[in-house]
Structures are given as structure tokens and as C-alpha cells.
């Protein structure tokens, strides 16, 4: 098994994770490795998403609403909120991490 390596670290102002119910994620520190996305929010909670489970990475940049939609199959979605530049950077980093052999 390949060793897990940290590729990027960044912060997000907020997100919502949907898995049948909405789970609000507050200001968070994120670590992106070659195997997973780890989100640690200001409440001390940790959310981990295995990169193999991500089926789509979709930045949705409207005039008012801006988010980055990560889908994990048909049942789970993570919506990350931020400004256009930040969301496009995060999308690029995740796509790069998913393409990196683990």
C-alpha cells in the first residue's frame, strides 16, 4: 500500500455535507492528501472523504451563489462555499490529487 502524503492545506469558510440529512460545517482547516480530503471544523469535528469515493467535482459559479459541489455516488454531496478564485483553486487541487497515483 502506498504511503499517504499531504499535497495541500487550505481553509474554507463553510460547507454543507448531505448524506440524507444536512450537516453544517463551519470555518474549517482542510488537508488534502493523495488518498483523502480531511476537514476539521471550528467545533472540533472531523469529516474525511476518500478520494476514490468522489464521482464528480463541479464548481458552480453564479452571480450571487458560488459553491464547489463534490458528489460521492448518488447519496452524498459536499458543498463548499467561498469566492470564485478559492473554489476554482480547491477544484483544481482535488482533481490533481485524484489524478495522482496513490
pLDDT of 74 reads: 87
pLDDT of 18 reads: 94
Percentages helix, strand, coil for the chain (3-state, rounded to 5) are 20, 50, 30
Q: Note the pLDDT tens digit of each residue in 31-54.
A: 999 999 999 998 899 999 999 999
Q: Note the pLDDT tens digit of each residue in 4-24.
A: 999 999 999 999 999 989 999
Task: Please report which confidence band the pLDDT of residue 102 belongs to, taking 50, 70 and 90 as the band edges.
Answer: low
* pTM of the complete model: 0.91
Using an 8 Å Cβ cutoff, are 42 and 28 in contact?
Answer: yes
**CA-CA distance, 100 to 81, in Å (whole number)?**
25
Beta-carbon count within 10 A of 29 CB: 13
Domain borders along the chain are 6-99
Query: Which range is least confidently modeled, 43-47, 74-78, 98-102?
Result: 98-102
Q: Is 42 helix (H, G, I), strand (E, B) or coil?
A: coil
pLDDT of 94 reads: 97
**CA-CA distance, 40 to 36, in Å (whole number)?**
13
Q: What is the CATH number of domain 6-99?
A: 2.30.29.30
pLDDT of 1 reads: 57
What is the rounded average pLDDT for all residues in the chain? 93
Instruction: Tell me the mean pLDDT in the region 27-31.
Output: 96
Amino acid at each position: 500500500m502506498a504511503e499517504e502524503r499531504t499535497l495541500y492545506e487550505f481553509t474554507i469558510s463553510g460547507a454543507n455535507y448531505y448524506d440524507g440529512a444536512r450537516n453544517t460545517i463551519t470555518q474549517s482547516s482542510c488537508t488534502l492528501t493523495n488518498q483523502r480530503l480531511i476537514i476539521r471544523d471550528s467545533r472540533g469535528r472531523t469529516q474525511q472523504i476518500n478520494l476514490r469515493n468522489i464521482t464528480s467535482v463541479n464548481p458552480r459559479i453564479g452571480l450571487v451563489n458560488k459553491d464547489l459541489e463534490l458528489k460521492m455516488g448518488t447519496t452524498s454531496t459536499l458543498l463548499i462555499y467561498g469566492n470564485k478564485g478559492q473554489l476554482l483553486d480547491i477544484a483544481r487541487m482535488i482533481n490533481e490529487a485524484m489524478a495522482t497515483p496513490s
